A and B are shown apart, each in its own frame.
Chain A
Amino acid sequence: MLINVNMTINGKAVSGQVEARTLLVEFIRDHQRLTGTHVGCDTTQCGCCTVHVDGKAVKSCTMLAVQATGKSVITIEGLAQADGTLHPVQEAFREHHGLQCGFCTPGMVMMGVDICRRHPNADEHTVRQELEGNICRCTGYQGIVEAIMDASAKMAGGKA
């Protein structure tokens, strides 16, 4: 049995018919062809699939597509402005070399934006604690932590 789902993704109204068991990340990637959101562990641990649902970071591998009905979803594709200007967190990842292979990056950036919103001028300890649910196997986290601290300060200062 298929169920109708409708939501906005990156501000655009989308709808589709899915099985109840279809995960939000499957709807985003396979139905909407927005493949920036990655699936790493598929067990709620690695954070590669992090998106925002109604403004809050969640792991889209552990939410059903039907649970997002009527909600606003933002993925990594929805962060930069239409003219290509990067979001301050994306810009900070570039500036501080917050990535190597890039697989975890969409989730890191989406969680980074969530951290910056909740913790203006976040210190290093806070950022490291808050990255508990996002795993990177290349960078050793140093550049990621620096990027999020920098973006958090800039966003708090209204510079970006």
Chain B
Amino acid sequence: MENFGYHTPASVADAAKLLDANEDAKLMSGGMTLLPTLKQRLAAPSDLIDLAKIPDIKGVCRDGDELVIGAMTTHAEVHENALVRELIPGLASLAGQIGDPAVRHRGTIGGSCANADPAADYPAGTLGHGATFVTNKRKIAADDFFLGLFETALEPGEIIVGVRFPIPVWSHYQKLRHPASGYAVVGVLVAQTKSGVRVAVTGAGPSAFRATAMEEALAKDFSVKAIEGITVDADDLNNDIHASAAYRAHVVTVLAKRAVAAR
């Protein structure tokens, strides 16, 4: 990989200053996607701004009806955290299905969401729970966050500091895992929240999306039967070496049914 300047700011404000001062700089959290990307020379930032030394953007705490997860909290920490396991076990389970143990020790929730890989698990986890991203500038609802392939609502100079999850009544994540990469060929999170049923899909389309027809059906009758005949439109789905769009559309319904059956 090309060389770069390396910075370890001690605060989010310092990180933002560095980002503003270096037009071609990139933020680094766990580096589990960024470092392989640099090695392949798909990117060559002038500077890497490593967020690892900022103390107040990692860890998990409860704030009223919400669970707040710091952006630099690793997948392993979310998976093993007692509060997450007690209050949102579906999210703890999702985090434990990302990559492999060594990757889970480094990769973070903030990094995964900011990267917005179409086959990542957290986009379904945040969208499905109706989470809110807290940045150094504002709050962004997950519904407004994932815009397209590797594209989010984050603006230049904006840094995710945490994710706020409303504690659901119940949630469950089902994933068809790619056997080599561990990424989701399709992943579906179903949640019963205080504001209704949510069904979020990752892996299938260019970015995570909600299966609204399933949500409406489950709101009336929360049963496997209620979504039996409902499929998402294959025209909008990914068609690649791993799976055809038609297959992905089929698997979305299969996984949604399995998730509901787990209730």
In angstroms, Cα B35 to Cα A43, docked, is 9
In angstroms, Cα B76 to Cα A115, docked, is 13
In angstroms, Cα B179 to Cα A45, docked, is 12
Size class of the A contact interface (CB-based, 8 Å):
20 to 34
Q: Is the CB of A21 within 8 A of B1?
A: yes
For B36, the chain A residues whose CB sits under 8 A away are 43-44, 62
In angstroms, Cα B1 to Cα A64, docked, is 11
Q: B31 near A: Cβ within 8 Å?
A: yes
In angstroms, Cα B180 to Cα A33, docked, is 32
Beta-carbon contacts under 8 Å, B73-130 to A: 76, 99-103, 105-106
Flag B1-27 by CB within 8 Å of A: 1 or 0 each.
Answer: 111111000000000000000000000
Q: A56 near B: Cβ within 8 Å?
A: yes
A50-B102 CB under 8 A given contacts A20-B5, A67-B52: yes
Q: Is the CB of B5 within 8 A of A1?
A: yes
In angstroms, Cα B103 to Cα A111, docked, is 12
Flag B165-180 by CB within 8 Å of A: 1 or 0 each.
Answer: 0000000000000001
Q: A79 near B: Cβ within 8 Å?
A: no
Q: B139 near A: Cβ within 8 Å?
A: no
Q: B225 near A: Cβ within 8 Å?
A: no
Q: What total of chain B residues lie within 8 Å of the partner, measured CB to CB?
A: 26
Task: Return the chain A residue nearest B2 by Cβ.
Answer: A21
For A63, the chain B residues whose CB sits under 8 A away are 31, 35, 106
Contact of B182 among A1, A114, A132 (CB under 8 A): A132
Q: Is the CB of A57 within 8 A of B105?
A: yes
Q: Is the CB of A57 within 8 A of B102?
A: yes
Contact of A44 among B4, B32, B180 (CB under 8 A): B32
For B106, the chain A residues whose CB sits under 8 A away are 58-59, 62-63
Give, as a whole number of angstroms, the nearest-CB distance from B138 to chain A.
Answer: 29
Q: A138 near B: Cβ within 8 Å?
A: no
Q: A47 near B: Cβ within 8 Å?
A: yes
Task: Return the chain B residue nearest A3 by Cβ.
Answer: B6
Q: What 12 additional pairs, Cβ within 8 angstroms, besides A57-B102, A118-B101? A: A1-B3, A20-B48, A21-B2, A43-B36, A59-B106, A62-B36, A64-B6, A64-B35, A66-B50, A132-B99, A133-B99, A133-B100
What are 22 A-B pairs with beta-carbon distances under 8 A? A3-B6, A20-B3, A21-B3, A21-B4, A44-B32, A44-B35, A47-B100, A56-B105, A57-B101, A57-B102, A58-B106, A59-B102, A59-B103, A62-B35, A63-B35, A64-B31, A64-B35, A114-B101, A115-B101, A132-B101, A133-B102, A133-B103
Nearest 8 A/B pairs, CB to CB: A133-B100, A20-B6, A132-B100, A56-B105, A21-B3, A59-B102, A57-B102, A62-B35
